[in-house]
Each structure stands twice: as C-alpha cells, then as structure tokens.
C-alpha cells in the first residue's frame, strides 16, 4: 500500500484511548506484515486491545535486530469542534488531518513500510503497542509477559519530532495527595480540622521545590505541576477530605523512590501519597557511534545538523530501553510536535516521505 494511503487508512481506525480498541488496527497491519514474510504475534492487553510484534525474515541470522516501535492508540478529541472529521483523514494542501495524524499513525505507517522494504536483508523487529497514551501500558505488559527478546542493536521510537532525532525523554511520576481532616459546621470552624487547608499548605511547599541539585545535562531539571485539586462537599461545612493530583516530570539520576521520599519529607504529615503512574525517563549517550550515524542520516532532511536533545514528554522508549538493557535509542518520527493532542491535528506529507527514507537508511546501518 502507498505510504500516504496507509497513513490515511490508519487514521480511519478509531483508537481513542480510553477505551483504545486497537485490535482491529493491529490485525490489519499484522496481515500486511505476515504477507511480507514477517513472523507476527499478538499479545493481549485486555478485550479488544492487543500489542503487535513482528520479526523480519532476517531476524535470527546472527545480527542483532533494530527495533522500530510505535503506538496505535490516540488521545480523546477534546471539547472544541473540529473543522475536519477526526477519522476522515482529509488530504488538504500537503497535509493529512485527523486524530493521530502526527501522534503517531504517520510514524507507524512509515515504520511498517520501511520494515517491509528492508526486512529481507535487515534484521528488524516491529513493536506496535496499545495503551501508550495512558502510561505505556502495552509495552509494560510485553515486558511483564517476557516476550521482549534481546539483545537488540538499537531502538527507534516514531513519536512526532518532525524527523529530528531526540536521544532521551523525561519520566513521569504522578501522585494523588490526600489530606484528611474533621468536619464541623461552617460557622464554628474551630471545632473541625480543615482538609483543604492542609492540602493547600502541602501544595505551597511542593511548588517551592526547584530541583536545582537534580538537573540532567541533556534533559534539564525535573518539573512539578499540581494539575487537580478537589475538596469539600458544601460551602457551610469544614471539609474533612481533599485530594490533589501531582505531575512530576523526572530525569535520570533521580530515582522515583528517592523522589517520593523527598516529597513526603517536604509535606510532613499534611498528606498521604498514592502513586498513579510511575514511568522513568532515559537518556542515550550522544557519543555512541550508532547515535552519531543517525544524526548524520537525518541531517539532510532538516534545516540544521542535529545536536543532542531530549523530550519533556514520556514515550515507550523508557520501558523498552529498560527491557532490552539500554541499547542506544532515538525518538524520531514525521509528526509535528506542536500537533500532538491538538484539535484539527495534522501531519505534513513531506515529513512522512522523508521519514520512510530515514528509517530505511537506519535499517541498513
């Protein structure tokens, strides 16, 4: 199938997560890959949701395979009306519009066709996952199931980077903070214990942390954001419970166990913490020869020569890197970073065409 038409076909699969429903899209691609001689396996995540793994005919010949990885799920549409049908995959003025156009069905399309083009001679493993958008659930399940067979030569993650090779990303540590108090009538607050006040003081302390001593040379400092806060049930009562949602974007070198201890020490006995999501970051060595080769391959398609950079968002790269004992890895895909999760999301067609050329060159390294 033509690269552009395959991208449009994948956008037409509605894989909004939740609920995901990635299985139909995965099996469509699995049939393509099986017809091309790949050994295809499906690994269940939950009803209607599977991860796809496909190994080229050249895998097993003695050379370590390169792993190409992408996710099939997309985020919800949001409340703003779309000009273009989110699953219509409309082609307008050199762009394709639709949910997942940039994040990251164009990257998946380019990876699949690059693997089919090179797989007879190049050892390549494709991992197309479910559930990435809600915490890398699919890849984590593959690791737990013990099906990520190593060693591998390198990892390529097709997230939207406008084909700029990134070599690391921050982790995500999401926590719920719960404050408990004692209710009382709103006219006699001295008889109660205000849980909102406790939560507010905990938030004030947390937001004063600057992480200056934990900066990473590639990814910079960790960041901390309080994204939600809820408490109380009526205005004329002292609230006895309040909860807040904390999003910490972490960097290698600050383990999440040590981070939690730091946060708990900061808050004292004001709140209790519950982990909502725990995804470490990663960073490849920019001096690695394979990384330098990828930089050289990507340079002709960019307006600049690549230099070591990382991403603030999380991807499947970190759990895959850990499962494969940290081979060199890049995040590189045709999608526009600014379009991820946006209304009227689009991808530039030229980027997709460049991406398949870059992927094919990587597989020939």
- pLDDT, tens digit, 9 for 90 and up, residues 30-58: 999 999 999 999 999 999 999 999 999 99
Round to whole Å and give the CA distance between 294 and 7.
24
User: What pLDDT score does 61 carry?
Assistant: 86
In the 3-class helix/strand/coil scheme, how is 284-340 assigned residue by residue? Answer: CCCCCHHHHHHHHHHHHHCCCCCCCCCECCCCCHHHHHHHCCCCCEEECCCCCHHHC
pLDDT value for 250: 97
Please state the pTM of the whole predicted model.
0.93
Under DSSP, is residue 169 helix (H, G, I), strand (E, B) or coil? strand
> Looking at residue 32, what is its pLDDT?
98
What whole-number distance in Å separates Cα of residue 172 and Cα of residue 275?
Answer: 11
pLDDT in tens, 131-188: 999 999 999 999 999 999 899 999 999 999 999 999 999 999 999 999 999 999 999 9
pLDDT at 303: 86
Confidence of residue 327 (pLDDT cuts 50, 70, 90): very high
CB 355 within 8 A of CB 162: no
Mean per-residue pLDDT for 210-217? 93
174 within 8 A of 276, measured Cβ to Cβ: yes
Look at residue 149 in the predicted model and tell me its pLDDT: 87
Residue 1, pLDDT score = 83
Mean pLDDT within 252-258: 94
Contacts of 199 (CB under 8 A, 6+ apart): 177, 179, 229, 231, 242, 243, 244, 270, 271
Name the residue among 295, 194, 206 with its Cα closest to residue 244.
206
Binning pLDDT at 50, 70 and 90, where does residue 240 land?
very high
Residue with structure tokens 């719960």?
178
Dist CA 29 CA 108 (whole Å): 10
Within 80-238, residue ranges assigned H as helices are 106-118, 137-145, 195-207
Q: Which one of 3.30.70.360, 3.30.450.20, 2.130.10.10, 3.40.190.10 gives the CATH number of domain 171-279?
A: 3.30.70.360
The CATH class, in words, for 3-169+282-363 is alpha beta
Q: How far is CA 287 from CA 284, 307, 322, 362, in A?
A: 9, 11, 19, 17
The mean per-residue pLDDT over the stretch 236-251 comes to 98
pLDDT tens-place string over residues 293-305: 999 999 999 989 9
pLDDT in tens, 57-90: 999 888 999 999 999 999 999 999 999 999 999 9
Residues of the chain with CATH 3.30.70.360: 171-279
- For the chain, residues classed under CATH 3.40.630.10 are 3-169+282-363
Residue 5 pLDDT level (bands cut at 50, 70, 90): very high
* Averaged pLDDT score across all residues of the chain: 97
Share of the chain above pLDDT 70, in %: 100
CB half-sphere exposure, 213, CA atoms < 13 A = 3
Interatomic CA distance for residues 284 and 266, integer angstroms = 31
Residue 96 has a pLDDT of 98
């Amino acid at each position: 199938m033509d690269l552009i038409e395959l991208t449009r076909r994948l956008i037409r699969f509605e894989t909004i997560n939740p609920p995901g429903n990635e299985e139909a899209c995965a099996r469509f691609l699995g049939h393509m890959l099986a017809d091309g001689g790949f050994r295809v396996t499906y690994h269940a995540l939950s009803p209607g949701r599977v991860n796809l793994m496909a190994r080229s005919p050249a895998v097993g010949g003695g050379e370590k395979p390169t792993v190409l990885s992408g996710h099939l799920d997309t985020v919800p549409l949001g409340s703003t009306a779309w000009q273009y049908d989110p699953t219509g995959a409309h082609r307008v003025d050199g762009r394709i519009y639709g949910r997942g156009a940039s994040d990251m069905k164009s990257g998946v399309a380019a990876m699949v066709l690059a693997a089919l083009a090179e797989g007879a001679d190049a050892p390549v493993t494709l991992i197309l996952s479910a559930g990435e958008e809600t915490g890398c659930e699919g890849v984590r399940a593959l690791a737990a199931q013990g099906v990520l067979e190593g060693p591998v030569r390198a990892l390529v993650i097709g997230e939207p980077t406008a084909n700029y090779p990134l070599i690391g990303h921050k982790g995500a540590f999401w926590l719920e903070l719960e404050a408990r108090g004692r209710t009382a009538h709103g006219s006699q607050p001295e008889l109660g214990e205000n849980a909102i006040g406790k939560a507010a003081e905990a938030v004030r302390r947390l937001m004063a942390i600057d992480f200056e001593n934990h900066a990473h040379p590639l990814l910079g400092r960790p960041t901390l954001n309080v994204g939600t806060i809820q408490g109380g049930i009526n205005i004329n009562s002292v609230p006895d419970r309040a909860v807040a949602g904390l999003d910490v974007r972490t960097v290698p070198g600050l383990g999440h166990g040590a981070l939690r201890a730091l946060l708990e020490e900061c808050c004292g006995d004001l709140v209790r913490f519950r982990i909502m999501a725990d995804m470490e970051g990663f960073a490849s060595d920019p001096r690695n020869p394979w990384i330098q080769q990828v930089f050289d391959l990507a340079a002709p398609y960019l307006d600049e020569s690549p230099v070591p950079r990382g991403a603030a968002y999380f991807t499947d790269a970190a759990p895959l890197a850990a499962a494969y004992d940290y081979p060199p890895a890049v995040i590189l895909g045709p999608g526009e970073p600014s379009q991820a999760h946006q209304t009227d999301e689009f991808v530039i067609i030229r980027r997709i065409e460049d991406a398949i050329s870059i992927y094919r060159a990587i597989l020939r390294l």
